[in-house]
């Protein structure tokens, strides 16, 4: 007697039916244990997608998390912002803005910004535009003043009281 053919792993129903019609008792349990190929592919795709999503989330948390790690000193920019805005939500908001705008670099300068008065440049950790310089103050002198974290935070607070978060894109982070 010839051995009975078993169902292929891809779930070929024709072979399984043929085995059952011959009365092969092994074929009865075989088709229930072997999932069909599309279901296996679907589960594999879902698992790979979930794994990729997890990797992306972990990388985002590790790479772009602003703040101070244990054992490190707080950057001067963060200290100046907390002294000016406090430690509540507004202080946290401006710490996030400083991270986004300059990565806490107090000497950040963007000379490509153009302003309504014709001046160019945004300076300091909070990237305050030259439009906000004092009457008669040159843009280079304003830039030097904005490189001081405390002066930058003071002027940012004045701008915030007048215009809110709009000059920083209306967003904290």
Q: How far is CA 71 from CA 39, 45, 74, 104, in A?
A: 51, 42, 10, 18
Does residue 21 sit within a domain?
no
Per DSSP, the residues of 31-44 read HHHS--HHHHHHHH
What is the reported pLDDT for 65? 45
**CA dist list (Å): 136 to 9, 117, 133, 139, 171:** 82, 13, 8, 9, 32
CA distances from residue 130 to 51, 54, 111 in whole angstroms, order as listed:
47, 43, 10
Q: Residue 37: inside a domain, yes or no?
A: no
Mean pLDDT (the chain, rounded): 81
SS3 content of the chain, % helix, strand, coil (to 5): 55, 5, 35
Tens digit of each residue's pLDDT (9 = 90 or more) over 20-68 = 555 555 555 555 555 566 777 788 888 888 787 777 666 555 554 455 5
Q: Would you tell me the crossing angle of helices 149-163 and 89-102 to the nearest 10 degrees? A: 120
Per-residue confidence (pLDDT) for residue 3, from 0 to 100: 59
Tens digit of each residue's pLDDT (9 = 90 or more) over 127-161: 999 999 999 999 999 999 999 999 999 999 999 99
User: Does 20 reside within a domain?
Assistant: no
pLDDT band for position 75 (cuts 50, 70, 90) = very high
pLDDT, tens digit, for every residue of 95-116? 999 999 999 999 999 999 999 9
Q: Among all chains, which residue has been given the structure tokens 């215009």?
A: 163
Total of domains in the chain: 1
> What is the average per-residue pLDDT within 78-94?
96
Measuring CA to CA, how many Å separate 138 from each of 3, 19, 143, 144?
Answer: 95, 92, 9, 10
> Within a domain: residue 38?
no
Q: What is the pLDDT of residues 114-136, one digit of tens each?
A: 999 999 999 999 999 999 999 99
Containing structural domain, residue 108: 76-168
């Amino acid at each position: 007697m010839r051995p009975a053919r078993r169902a292929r792993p891809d779930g070929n129903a024709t072979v399984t039916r043929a085995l059952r019609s011959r009365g092969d008792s092994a074929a009865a349990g075989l088709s229930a244990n072997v999932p069909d190929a599309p279901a296996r592919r679907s589960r594999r795709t879902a698992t790979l997608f979930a794994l990729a999503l997890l990797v992306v989330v972990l990388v985002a948390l590790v790479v772009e998390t602003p703040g101070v790690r244990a054992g490190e000193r707080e950057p001067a920019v963060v200290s100046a912002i907390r002294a000016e805005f406090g430690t509540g939500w507004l202080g946290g908001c401006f710490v996030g803005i400083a991270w986004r705008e300059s990565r806490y670099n107090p000497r950040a300068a963007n000379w490509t910004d153009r302003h309504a008065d014709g001046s160019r440049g945004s300076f300091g950790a909070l990237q305050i535009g030259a439009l906000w310089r004092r009457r008669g103050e040159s843009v280079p002198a304003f830039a030097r003043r904005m490189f001081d974290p405390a002066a930058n935070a003071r002027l940012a607070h004045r701008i915030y009281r007048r215009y809110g978060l709009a000059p920083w894109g209306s967003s904290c982070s």
